[in-house]
Amino acid sequence: MVCSTCHHESNFDAAGVPGNPKWALAPAEQAWQGKTLGQICVQIKDKDRNGGKDMAALIHHMAEDELVGWGWNPGAGRTPAPGTQKKQFGELIKAWAEAGAACP
Encode 13-52: b = buried (16+ Cβ within 10 Å), e = exposed.
eeeeebbbeebeeeeeeeeeeeeeeeeebebbbeeebbee
Reading the chain (104 residues) residue by residue, the pLDDT tens digits are 788 888 899 999 998 898 888 888 788 888 899 999 999 999 999 999 999 999 999 999 999 999 899 999 998 899 999 999 999 999 999 999 999 999 99
| 1 in any annotated domain | no
| 103 in any annotated domain | no
Can you give the residue range of the structural domain that contains 70?
32-98
| 59 in any annotated domain | yes
How many domains does one find in the chain? 1
First to last CA, the chain: 40
| 104 in any annotated domain | no
Spatial CB neighbours of 81, under 8 Å, sequence gap ≥ 6: 71, 72, 89
| 52 in any annotated domain | yes
Identify the bridge partners of residue 12 per DSSP, sorted by sequence position: 17
| 10 in any annotated domain | no
pTM value surpassing 0.85: no
